[in-house]
Amino acid sequence: MPGGPAVELGRITPADLEEVGEFLHAHLNERLSARQWSAALVPPWPAPEPDHGFLLRAAGEVVGAYLAFYSVRQIGGATERFCNLAAWCVGEEYRSHGLRLLRAALGRKGYHFTDLSPSGNVVPLNLRLGFTALDTSASLVLNLPWPPRAGTRVVSEPREIDGLLTGQELQVYRDHARAAAARHLVVVQGERTCYVIYRRDRRKRLPLFASILHVSDRELFAAAVGPVRRHLLGRGLPLTLAEDRVTGPLPGPAVRLTRTRSKMYRSRTLRPEQVDYLYSELTCVPW
């Protein structure tokens, strides 16, 4: 800004978390307290980078932030690094500096990038920068008080979940067990288990929706979708948002959505089916 204070770009370090949380509470989403914001910026899984994204400062005050959640994943037998670009917020007077945050974030070398909640004006910008839109075709399902099904259990108690899962699914659970937005359940049918992660979402400001983020066994999930819906209804969630790429087709009455929220990724090597919603803001930030 001509005549204004210099605007400095820097990484979001642990020392900046409190101020960034206060900024995001004031300028992005006041439903989350400053403390909730600052806590959500620190993922519960081991991260390969020492920062949490990038910020802008003017006269010592935080005036912009672009959050990032980093992770190392095993995909197709290879070790892959991910950077999930999350909340992007810049004070109105400093909007001309917003692209500096984006350039810094995308300047990370050796990462695949995801943007799982781009706002409307960010989508075309991402496309110009080489991002690809994921297929977010989805259904809206009414959660009804289905009768219990013999031989099928829905488990949500943490200690029992930890004892039911093994291998990679157990690692995913332990990495996300303390993530603020992630909710966990396991469907048990005989010797089979299906691990499910969902989050509480808002539509038209109503926090009544369960958005399914992860399903480990689509076939079992579809077979047990009645008990799962009953469980979710008991948690105050009368509606479920189920993306085809996460859950597969589900039986029973559902409404196909004509418009869904965009999700995008940028990678030279990964296919869309190799990109999921784990280790991201969707599991960490409880909007």
Q: Are 107 and 210 in contact (CB under 8 A)?
A: no
Q: Residue 287: what pLDDT?
A: 87
* Helix/strand/coil for 19: helix
Backbone dihedral angles phi then psi of residue 12, each to the nearest 5 degrees: -85, 105
Backbone dihedral angles phi then psi of residue 96, each to the nearest 5 degrees: -65, -15
pTM of the model: 0.95
Quick one: DSSP state of residue 138?
A: E
Tokens of 43: 């993922």
Domains of the chain, residue spans: 7-134, 138-260
The alpha carbon of residue 86 and the mean position of all alpha carbons in its chain are separated, in whole angstroms, by: 8
Question: 255-256 and 183-189 as β-strands: parallel, antiparallel, unpaired?
Answer: unpaired
Blockwise average pLDDT, block size 10, the chain, 287 residues: 80 98 98 98 95 97 98 96 98 95 96 95 96 97 88 96 97 98 97 98 94 98 94 97 95 89 97 98 96
What's the rounded Cα separation, in Å, for the pair 39 and 280?
A: 14
- Asked: is 7-134 a CATH 3.40.630.30 domain? The reply is yes
Query: Shortest CA distance to 264 belongs to which of 98, 119, 65?
Result: 119
Q: Residue 3: what pLDDT?
A: 57
Q: Residue 226: what pLDDT?
A: 92
Q: From residue 275, give the alpha-carbon distance in Å to each of 95, 209, 230, 280.
A: 31, 23, 29, 11
